[in-house]
Structure formats: C-alpha cells, structure tokens
Amino acid sequence: MTAAPEHSGPVGVAGNTAGTGDMIVARPAGFWRDIGSIAIRSIRQLPRDVEFIGPALLIPLFFLVVNVGSLQDIADFTSIEIDYKAFQLPVAIVFAVTGVTRAFALVLNIQEGYFDRLMLTPVSRRALLLGHMAADFVLVIALTIPVIALGFIIGVRFPTGPLGVLVFVLLAAFWGVAYTGIPYSIALKTGNPGAVNSSFLIFFPFAFLTTAYLPREAMTGWLGQIAQYNPVTYLLGGLRSLFVGWQWTELSKALLAILGLAIFSQMLAFRALAGRVRQK
C-alpha cells in the first residue's frame, strides 16, 4: 500500500498545556519549509561530526600532497598540457566530495527510532531526503575550500579567474550531491550503518580506473577502454579544463557525466525512500 500524505486542513486544539486558551494549530508546513527544516537540522549537526568530516578532509589533502610529490617528475614525460599540481587538484577535489554525505546520520536516525518520529509528522517524505541532500551540498562546498586553498599554496593558479574557481567548486559540489544517491539508497534500503560505511568502496573503481594519474592519451589497453566509459574521466576533464581556459566542450561533457550519475543514483535513492516510508 502506498500512502502519500494527504492533508485537508489544519487540525488544532484550543489552549495549551498551560491552559491559556490560545489556539495552536498544527498544519502542513509546506514542501520547501520541510526541506529547510530537515536541512537546517542536518547542517547544525555537521560540527558535531568531526570524526566523520575529519577523515573526509584529510584524505584528499593527503592524496594531493603525495601524488604531486611522488609523480610530478614522471608526469614531465607525458602529454599533460598543464602543471601536474593542477592536474592532481581535481583528483583531490573529487575524493573530497564523493561519498561524503549525511547518509550516515540518516541511517543512525533509522536505528535510533528518530526516523519514525519524523514519519509521524506531516513532513513531505521527499523532503526527508532532499533536506539531507541540501545539507550535503553545503558540506561538500565546505570541503572543497581547504583543498583548493592547499592547491593555491603549492602554486596552482586558475587562468579562468575567480569565475573559474566558482565553476570548479560548483561542478565538484554537483558531482558530490549526485553521488549521494548511492549511499542514501543503501542507508534507506538496509538501515545498516556498516553498509553505509562501506558504500565508499563502490567509488574506488571509478576513482582509480580513470585519468587520475595520467591523461587518457597515455593510457593503453583495457585501462584506457574502461576510462573511456567512466564518468569520472569526463568530470576530471571538465575540472582540468578550467586550468587551460573556457573549454565549453569539456565542461559540457562534465555536466553530462554529472547528470547521468544524478539520474541513476537519485532514482535508486528515491525508490529506496518509497520503500522505507511505505506503510508495509
């Protein structure tokens, strides 16, 4: 049985527990306010999740420093047309924004019973997911800032200027939010924090079977073939293009890769949500 919430009007009780006689009227808050309420709640919790956000920040910084330090000299023998530091910055950004979501908080809410409390309110069920994703958008943007700052410190520059930096951040953030559908679908489907924790592993083949270390022209055999079909390849291509100039073809391919991932992962997430909120 599917049961979309249907509201025909406010329901209230005259008075309150103190018996003042004033009217408090419960009513549907509305779709956008629901999203806002869930998002604000989720964003407020971010500083309390240092143990979760800390590693998500340290890993990309670590990759950036180590990859540049260990591979820069080798990269001089390849066809990379930009500085290897700039070539690696998008890789670090993709690590920073992929799989970093509030899905872990959501699955804890399912375990603790708070999700049931939310289900007992007239909140739009889609807002339960979209509110968390709005918080994810804020989170991934926040995570890109220190990584880009480190990039600047080690000498990376954007010839496309501040607008290029903005597009760089937004492309990364949209990718990050598009990917969240996968951990959310696992959280909603399983209600198991361990499964959500492992969901990052799904990203590993995408992260490494791509142009993370070498341009596609330098890749041969099966790796080159796989990289050709990997959406991360096109995302990296779009991000790296911003270190050359405004290359609209590369940016369009990156946007299409994000869109394709979003359609796939969000479909999974909303289907899992429908299963979770259905009166079974």
Partner 1 sequence: MSDSEIAVRAVGLVRDFGDVRAVDGINLEIRPGEIYGFLGPNGAGKSTVVRMLTTLLAPTRGQAWVRGMNVVERPGDVRLAIGVALQEAGLDARMTGREVLVTQGRLFGLSGAEIRRRISELSNIIDIGAIDRLVGTYSGGMARRLDLAAALMHNPKVLFLDEPTTGLDPSGRMRVWEEVRRLNRDMGMTLFLTTQYLEEADSLADRVGIINVGRLVAEGAPSALKRSIGTDVVSAHVDGDTDAACDALRDIEGVSAVDRFDQEIRVSTANGSAVLSPVALALDRVGVTVTELALRTPTLDDVFLDVTGTRLDAHPERASS
- Residues forming the site for partner 1 (CB under 8 A): 1, 3-13, 15-19, 22, 24-30, 33-34, 37-38, 41, 44-45, 48-49, 105, 108-109, 112-123, 279-280
Residue (220 or 279) nearer to partner 1, CB = 279
- Judged by DSSP in three states, 11 sits in strand
* Cα(12)–Cα(266) distance, integer angstroms: 36
Smallest separation (angstroms) from partner 1 to the CB of 51: 11
State residue 213 phi and psi, 5-degree precision. -115, -25
Residue (105 or 147) nearer to partner 1, CB = 105
Smallest separation (angstroms) from partner 1 to the CB of 68: 36
User: Which residues on adjacent β-strands are paired with residue 239?
Assistant: none
* Cα(161)–Cα(143) distance, integer angstroms: 20
Residue (122 or 155) nearer to partner 1, CB = 122
Sign of the C-alpha dihedral computed for residues 153, 159, 162 and 164 taken in this order: negative
Residue (22 or 76) nearer to partner 1, CB = 22
Smallest separation (angstroms) from partner 1 to the CB of 204: 28
Residue (45 or 70) nearer to partner 1, CB = 45
Residue (42 or 230) nearer to partner 1, CB = 42
Cβ neighbour number for residue 126 with a 10 Å cutoff: 16
Residue (20 or 249) nearer to partner 1, CB = 20
Smallest separation (angstroms) from partner 1 to the CB of 3: 5
Smallest separation (angstroms) from partner 1 to the CB of 12: 6
Smallest separation (angstroms) from partner 1 to the CB of 191: 14
Residue (105 or 139) nearer to partner 1, CB = 105
User: Which residues on adjacent β-strands are paired with residue 13?
Assistant: 24
- One-letter amino acid for residue 165 of the chain: V
Could you tell me how far CA 41 lies from the centroid of its own chain? Answer: 17
Smallest separation (angstroms) from partner 1 to the CB of 41: 5
State residue 177 phi and psi, 5-degree precision. -70, -40
Q: Look at residues 67, 265, 63 and name the one whose alpha carbon lies nearest to residue 175.
A: 265
Q: Give the ranges where 98-220 is alpha helix by DSSP (H).
A: 103-112, 114-119, 125-153, 161-190, 193-198, 203-208
Sorted by sequence, the CB contacts under 8 Å of residue 79 that are 6+ apart come out as 215, 217, 218
Smallest separation (angstroms) from partner 1 to the CB of 135: 13
- One-letter amino acid for residue 175 of the chain: W
